[in-house]
Amino acid sequence: MKVKPLVYIGVPVIAIGFLIFNRLQTIQANEADAEKESGARRGAPASVEVATAQSYDIIESIESVGTVTPEFTVNLAPRTTGVITYLEVREGEVVKPGQLLARINPDQANASVLSARASINESRSRLTQAQATVQANNIQIQQNIRQARAEVANAKANLNQTEKQAEADVISANADVTEAQAELASAQATLKNRGSQVTAARANLTNATTRLNRLEGLYEKGYVSAQEVDDARATVASAQANLDVRQGEIETGQADVNTAKARLESARANANSTKATTQAQIASAKARVEQAEASLASAEANRAQIPANEANVNALRAGVDSAEAQLQSAASQKSDTELRSTIAGTVTKRNADPGSIASPGQPVLVIESTDRLIVNTSIPISDSTKIESGDRANLTIEGIEDPIVARVEKIIPSADPQDRQALVRLAIVSDQASLRPGMFAKINIEVSRSSAKVAIPTEAIQDGSVMLIGQDGKAVKTKVTVGNSDQKNSEIISGINIGDQVVVLSFSPVRPDSPVNITAERGLDGTRRVIEPPNEDKKPPGAKS
């Protein structure tokens, strides 16, 4: 009875153990096969993707995405409330600028226009009457002022002439005084000179008399001749005669001085009289000027009425302006009952129908421009300094095979503080017939372009070196000097030549001087060509399988 439970337990245990043993055998066999396969792979050439060095343009560009949008989108909404009485356009219809698209019941607006016109006519009539009265008063006031100003000008001219004549008369009288003074000074100088001549003549007479007396004494003693005495007596007589003449000239000179003094006194008296007369004439002319200026002030005082009159006219004119403003407002309200297109475009939405109530700010129609499509995109603010207006941009749009060409039109100089992106606006240059607003576009903006004599994919360069495929099919690690680069390719200044093949991608580590198996070739334009392995079924006779 106890054997059966042991059998029930032992059989399952044996079965489980057998299964575990078989599983362990399978794992060991798989590991052995994997080890053999790994060893085989370690000895086999590495599978690689290569690229051929060639001349190519290095194009630095900025990639982004954007959406094709119309240049203008207009939400056509009324500015007044009313019942829509006319609305015939529907979605998809093309409209022109100024085209009437919808109309709101204008009855109330028409009544406002008529009322405003009546108010304008009444205001203009009152203004015309006031302007006629004010104009007559102003003309009389201005005429009086002009007459008074003419009198002032005439009086000032007379004063000016009187002052100049008085100045001339005084100058002439003073000149006579100066001339008389000069004559007196000359006569006095002549008299003084003649006095000096008398003194000299008297001295000469004294000297001659003294010599005569000395010669007469000598003559009595017999020391000089009688002739010498006679000559000395003649000299004395001559000196006496000269003295008499000089004394007569002094009397004449004194008479001249007296005459000059009398003339000077007469000139001074005449100068004083001239000054008194001219001052009286000037005072009279000034009094006339003051009287004319007083009359002008009185005439100008009447001009104070002009501002009051003008204020009244301006008030009436303001009333006319107010009435005209009311008319313009009423006319504007009437024009607001007509909704016209402001752009050339296509109706994309119709939000109401005839008979419905239109409300201010609620769009009745949405119109999008069709003349010009643009693309708005965002790029990092650090890249925004690399582009400028006019730069070329290539657009790739799903569903359109041919690339679309655009130009950078505007760069917003500030960035969004949330994502640090700058907004760039692109204008589409290519034919826009196949484009529709809302299309998604991949954007490539060309920043710079340079021609590289030798270029390879940037991915082939690792730490300044490339794996070059030698003529023997083995990889050779070669140092290169790198020039300009873009997103795909790099310029090689030295290290390799045109036509050399380099490893771009490998499926296992590539060791220098080891053979490689080329499975694909990549073009510098990004295309990839797969190289099929040799057909094992077409091995030459005697080849090992």
> What confidence score (pLDDT) does residue 479 get?
95
> What confidence score (pLDDT) does residue 476 get?
92
511: helix, coil or strand? coil
In this structure, CATH architecture of domain 109-307? Orthogonal Bundle (1.10)
Tell me the chain's radius of gyration from C-alpha atoms: 65
> What confidence score (pLDDT) does residue 469 get?
92
The highest-level CATH class for domain 46-67+372-538 is: mainly beta
497 exposure class (CB count in 10 Å sphere: 0-12, 13-18, 19+) = exposed
The highest-level CATH class for domain 76-104+338-362 is: mainly beta
Domain ranges of the chain: 1-29, 46-67+372-538, 76-104+338-362, 109-307
Mean pLDDT in order along the chain per 10 residues (545 residues): 52 68 70 52 77 91 87 83 85 87 77 77 80 77 84 88 86 87 86 85 88 86 85 88 84 84 85 86 87 83 74 79 74 74 86 85 84 85 83 85 85 77 86 79 86 93 92 91 90 93 89 90 90 58 39
> What confidence score (pLDDT) does residue 30 get?
66
> What confidence score (pLDDT) does residue 540 get?
44
Q: Three-state SS string across 241-303, please?
A: HHHHHHHHHHHHHHHHHHHHHHHHHHHHHHHHHHHHHHHHHHHHHHHHHHHHHHHHHHHHHHH
* DSSP label at residue 317: H
8 Å CB contact between 510 and 475: yes
> What confidence score (pLDDT) does residue 523 get?
92
364 exposure class (CB count in 10 Å sphere: 0-12, 13-18, 19+) = buried
Residues 6+ apart with CB under 8 A from 375: 66, 67, 68, 69, 395, 406, 425, 426, 428, 441, 443
> What confidence score (pLDDT) does residue 208 get?
87
- Tell me, yes or no, if the pTM score tops 0.75: no
> What confidence score (pLDDT) does residue 31 get?
63
CA angle 356, 328, 83 (to 5 degrees): 5
